[in-house]
Amino acid sequence: MAEKALTGAGLRGQVAGQTALCTVGKTGSGLTYYGYDIKELAEKVSFEEVAYLLAYGELPKESQLTEYRTRLKSMRGLPQPLKDVLERIPAEAHPMDVLRTGCSFLGNLETESDFSEADRNIERMLAVFPSIIMYWYRYSHDGVRIETETNDDSIGAHFLHMLHDKAPSELHAAVMNTSLILYAEHEFNASTFTARVCASTLSDIHSCVTGAIGSLRGPLHGGANEAAMDLIENMESPEDAEQTLMGMLERKEKIMGFGHAIYREFDPRNDIIKAWSKKLADEFGDSRLYDVSVRCEDVMWREKKLFPNADFFHASAYHYMGIPTKLFTPIFVMSRVTGWTAHVKEQRANNRIIRPSADYTGPEARPVPALSER
């Protein structure tokens, strides 16, 4: 019985390896990157500094950051063969499938032939993922071929610029910066573990990230922010939100965006993005989505002692910035590629193939009957 319980628990609580990159639910606020608390990182540094930290183990000096940003800017352009592929993907395709295909095809054009090329390929993916998703989105939905080599200093601003055909406001750029920091790394979650399993076979970096994108695509992982938006967008008021949630709870329906596999009382990322959502609501001049989100938070804690995770208030924040719901999870990829690739490097540095065993639950040993006897 214990063995079956472990299988059904999805390996929760089982230690599957070691990492120096991140703590989840263990120290301080509950989340650190290389020892730095997530709240302090979100307040004091840029996403590019966090990306550098995850890639190289230390925050960059000013000169290193300048050089790093310059390299990333120079890598935003798309090869023509990749543009050709993106133009053939239909508008109704899932954007995560677009990124999965884009990453895989990039691996054909810019193959990692030696692990010494990892850092360059990592920076290339970090720089070009926003270009991949926005080139496809604008071509398939608006019929335009956008220029992806913007001069925006930050990756978040680059994304918004391509989406709206103009540089974003300081507020919107700041929110995107924080969002990308919050999503950058989170220990051995499903997509990261996928990347590490792939890396343990000594596969190439593009294969590792392509597999991770496939895992993140699932609604129980990266798709929760889209599900949260689907939940709140039709709620007309806090009172309507409470009535809706109470009905869903009574019917025992799944409510996305609440609770977490590791955190028990709160998600340290929630308060940070919640505060930004409030600022965006004030700027937008319509606080309905924020207000219903707050009521949802209150109801879920009162009724089930469940708290919002990082995804829930991201839904309203992204909406206030004019980001279509279908692009929410690709933003997650734009950020988490930093954590995935850092884990790939860590796995490669001290590698043993990840090959767990399984408890057999099938029939007892039996002879193969003749075809006429089956």
Supply the DSSP string of 40-93, one letter for each residue: HHHHH--HHHHHHHHHHSSPPPHHHHHHHHHHHHHT-PPPHHHHHHHHTS-TTS
Residue 74's pLDDT is 98
Nearest Cα residue to 299 out of 330, 257, 361: 257
CATH topology for the 22-219+325-349 domain: Citrate Synthase; domain 1 (1.10.580)
> What is the spatial distance between Cα 264 and Cα 253, in angstroms, rounded to a whole number?
21
3-state helix, strand, coil in the chain (%, to 5): 60, 5, 35
Residue 25, classed as helix, strand or coil, is coil
Residue 353: strand, helix, or coil:
coil
Residue 128 near residue 162 (C-beta atoms within 8 A): no
Q: What is the pLDDT of residue 248?
A: 96
pLDDT at 5: 42
Q: Which residue has the tokens 């949630």?
A: 245
pLDDT digits (tens, 9 = 90+) for 162-205: 999 999 999 999 999 999 999 999 999 999 999 999 999 999 99
Nearest in space to 182 (alpha carbons), one of 63, 279, 292, 275: 275
Q: Please name the residues in contact with 177: beta carbons below 8 A apart, sequence gap of 6 or more.
A: 46, 47, 154, 156
Active site residues: 260, 311
Q: Is 61 left (phi over 0), alpha (psi -120 to 50) or beta?
A: beta
Which token pair is 341?
A: 């690739």
CA end-to-end span of the chain:
32
What values do phi and psi take at 32, rounded to 5?
-135, 150
* Cross-strand partners of 36: 33
Residues 11, 3: contact at Cβ < 8 Å?
Answer: no
The Cα–Cα gap between 164 and 183 comes to 23
The tens place of each residue's pLDDT in the chain, 374 residues long, gives 334 444 455 666 677 788 999 998 766 568 999 999 999 999 999 999 999 999 999 999 999 999 999 999 999 999 999 999 999 999 999 999 999 999 999 999 999 989 999 999 999 999 999 999 999 999 999 999 999 999 999 999 999 999 999 999 999 999 999 999 999 999 999 999 999 999 999 999 999 999 999 999 988 788 888 889 999 999 999 999 999 999 999 999 989 888 776 777 888 999 999 999 999 999 999 999 999 999 999 999 999 999 998 889 999 999 999 999 999 999 999 999 999 999 999 999 999 999 988 899 999 999 999 999 99
Q: Where are the domains of the chain?
A: 22-219+325-349, 224-321
Residue 337 in tokens: 């590629």
Tokens 């790394």 locate to: 185
**CATH number belonging to domain 224-321:** 1.10.230.10
**pLDDT of amino acid 9:** 59
Residue type, 3: E
Q: Say if CB 311 and CB 95 are below 8 A apart.
A: no
**b/e per residue 345-368 (b: at least 16 CB within 10 A):** bbbbeeeeeeeeeeeeeeeeeeee
- Under DSSP, the state recorded for 367 is P
What number of helices (H) and strands (E) belong to the chain?
Answer: 17, 3
Residue-wise DSSP of 22-34: EEESSSTTSEEET
Give the model's pLDDT for residue 6.
46
Rounded to 10°, the helix 312-320/288-304 angle is: 180
Report whether 194 contacts 301 (CB < 8 A). Answer: no
Q: What is the pTM of this model?
A: 0.92
- Tokens coding 39: 């709240």
- Torsion angle defined by CA atoms of residues 280, 260, 191 and 335, in that order, rounded to the nearest 10 degrees: 20
Q: Which residues contact 81 (CB under 8 A, 6 or more apart)?
A: 105, 109
Rounded to 10 deg, the angle between the 205-216 and 118-142 helix axes is 50
CA distance 82 to 141: 18
